[in-house]
Every structure is written in C-alpha cells, then in structure tokens.
Amino acid sequence: MGSIHVCLCGDVMTGRGIDQVLPQPCAPVLHEPCVCDARDYVRLAEEAHGPIPRSVDFAYVWGEALGEMRKPDIDVRIVNLETSVTQCQDHCPDKEIHYRMHPGNVGCLATAGIDCCCLANNHVLDWGYGGLTETLATLDTAGIARAGAGSNAAEAAAPAVLTVPGKGRVLVFALGSTTSGIPQAWTAMPDRPGVNLLPDLSEGTAQRIVSVAARARQPGDVVVASIHWGSNWGYDVSREQIDFAHTLIEGGVDLVHGHSSHHPRPIEVYRDRPILYGCGDFLNDYEGIGGYERYRGDLRLLYLIDLDSRDGRLAGVRLVPFRVQQFRLGRASEADTTWLCDVMNRYGERFGTRMTPGDAGGLTLHWR
C-alpha cells in the first residue's frame, strides 16, 4: 500500500485584503480600531512591494506553491482556514479583527486542491452565526471537507473523513484552544453552532480526544489532530502543549498539525509520529505591516509528510520555503532558505530534529 502523502500548511487567511483582489470581493467595510476599509491592506502591501493586480485569478495568491500542492502523488491537502466565507454583515462586536472572504471566491481553495479545511480557530465566527452557517454551506457546496466547527457540538467535533483510494482513510479532527484567542462563548453546544473548543490542555482533555478518535477509527486509518493553539509570535513551546501532543500520540494519533503562530515553530518526532507545533501563516494580508520583522513572517513553509499507510509511522518530511510579495507566494531565495533552516534547527535542537537543504530548494527533516 506504500505511503500516504499529506500536504499541510498553517493559517490560510484569504479574507480582508486578499479577498479584495480576488474576482468577487465582499464589501470592504471593516470594524477595526484603526482600519475601516479592507482595501487599505492592499495599499499597505503595494507600498511595500509594488502594484497588485485586481480581479486576479484564483491561482494568483498561491503562486509558485501550486506546483508543489498539485503534484499527483499528494493524497490529501489540509489547511487551517482562518476566515469566514460569507457576505454576512453581522460582525462580532467583541473582536477587533474580522476576516471574511466572499463565497464567490471559494474557488481559491478549490484551485489549490484543498481537501479539508480546519475551522476550529479564532476567526471562523468573526461575522456571527450567520457567517458560520454560510461558511459551512459554501464549503459543502464546493465539495471541500471540513472539521472543527458546525451547527452543533456533535458536528463540530466530528472528523473530516478523507478516503485515499487503495490506501485507506485519513481522519482529521480539528480542535481549538483559548490560548489562541478563541472566545469561550464560541464553544459549540448541543443546540448551538460553534467551534470544537478544548476546555484546557490537560491530560484528561487529551484522553477524551483520544477516546473520541478511537471510536471513529477503523483498521488502517491515519488520524490527524489539527490544533489551533498558542500565541502569535515567538518560538517557545509550552510544557502543556508538549504533554498534550504526547498524550495524543500515545493514544493513537498519527500526526499533530499545530497552528496559530504567524511564523513556523519547531517540529518534534515522538514515537515515530510528527508533531508540528506551529506551521505559521501561509496566506495572509499582513504584507507591509511592521512590528515583528525579526520573525520573518514573510517566509512561509509548506509541509509534505509521508506516513506509512500500514501503521501511520513517519516515513519522511520535506518542507518547501516560500516568500510572499504582492499577496503572492514565490520560492524563497537561497539566503532566506538558509535563514529559515538555521532558525528551525536552533529551536528544533530541543526536540532532536534538524533540517538540511534537499532537492529543488526544499528542506529535509531529520530526527533521532
């Protein structure tokens, strides 16, 4: 049966400025403390790197990443979709930032071949319950699987089931933590829409997730736990996160897909299973916004992971670095790739992982 080839990235934030350059943008009105028009984010990016075309095709923002994402040997493509897909005007008044993409632009996700969108994050309800309902319906109509949010608690907690012909199934459980800024009030209830929100990162909570996954799992399944957790900036991984991830792996999870940080965080391989503590942003409209330059948020990583389809063990990891300019992903330069490799090696030393330059400008992960 060979390996199951999984393509992952972190936060895909196609709202606000990015939505404005796509073919069918939402009304640009925003309710932020300093910005009232989403087109201002386009202007900031243009001031940094030059003109951005309007009504771009859906492939534009993915740029050179599409060549990797569309490779025929990839079995499943999973992202954290950190935006509401809606025309709803009912913004959440208790939040300062509100992301939304017009439903007519959902082809942006389909163009990249996205199989599953994880929704247990701090932006999926930015435009209220109506916005969430439209997001769910839009993804369903587009034939894109989803996990982590739903019309009730059971739907939000249910895994996305991705069938890989001849190899088995990939189950994707999407989970959110208040440590990433998800409001407690967004928790899905038996009779209320919302997100699959973890009450904490305790061992008891991890064991409950393991039990849910065990009930859904069939022989030969690969299980992915996609978790929105932690702060936006910095390379620290808390003991709480490490213990939580370890408990999941010990209980049968094959891959922990962490996100929320705006830049990549270290990778660990525990019991022959990968833990991506923070995948970093992949698409956003932060270009031209200063303040955290030392983290090089303009550099992005695509994670290509091979898991043995017989037992879920890690067979290999290739990482492909990109750099964003004019809302478009281009290949990172050799110097940028070296910088990213050095940073990941410095903070990965704690976990016994390191990276070396591989083929076609990529990085290869090594572990002990």
Contact 178, 148 (CB under 8 A): no
Instruction: Give 360's pLDDT tier (boundaries 50, 70, 90).
Output: confident
User: Is residue 276 predicted with pLDDT exceeding 70?
Assistant: yes
Token couple for 288: 């031209």
Q: Quote the CA–CA distance of 45 and 325 in Å, as a whole number.
A: 8
User: Is residue 12 predicted with pLDDT exceeding 90?
Assistant: yes
pLDDT on residue 358: 87
DSSP structure string for 4-58: EEEEEEEEE--STHHHHHSSSPPP-B---SS--BTHHHHHHHHHHH----SS--T
CB atoms within 10 A of CB 41: 26
Token couple for 42: 């386009």
User: Is residue 187 predicted with pLDDT exceeding 80?
Assistant: yes
Q: Quote the CA–CA distance of 195 and 51 in Å, as a whole number.
A: 37
Kindly report whether the global pTM for this prediction surpasses the value 0.75: yes
Contact 43, 20 (CB under 8 A): no
Token couple for 198: 């973890």
CA distances from 18 to 102, 114, 203 (A): 11, 18, 39
Can you list the domains of the chain with their CATH numbers?
A: 3-367 (3.60.21.10)
The residues with which 162 forms a beta bridge, in sequence order, are 170
Contact 132, 207 (CB under 8 A): no
Contact 75, 4 (CB under 8 A): yes
Percent residues over pLDDT 70 in the chain: 100
pLDDT on residue 138: 98
In a 10 Å sphere around its CB, with 0-12 CB exposed, 13-18 middle and 19+ buried, how is residue 51 labelled?
A: exposed
Cα atoms in the 13 Å half-sphere on the side-chain side of 146 = 29
Q: Quote the CA–CA distance of 217 and 275 in Å, as a whole number.
A: 20
CB atoms within 10 A of CB 293: 8
Token couple for 66: 């599409």
Calculate mean pLDDT across residues 157-178.
97
**pLDDT tens digits along 218-251:** 999 999 999 999 999 999 999 999 999 999 999 9
Q: Quote the CA–CA distance of 26 and 38 in Å, as a whole number.
A: 9
Contact 78, 8 (CB under 8 A): yes
User: Is residue 1 predicted with pLDDT exceeding 80?
Assistant: no
pLDDT on residue 38: 98
pLDDT on residue 211: 98
**pLDDT tens digits along 324-338:** 999 999 999 999 999
Q: Quote the CA–CA distance of 70 and 85 in Å, as a whole number.
A: 23
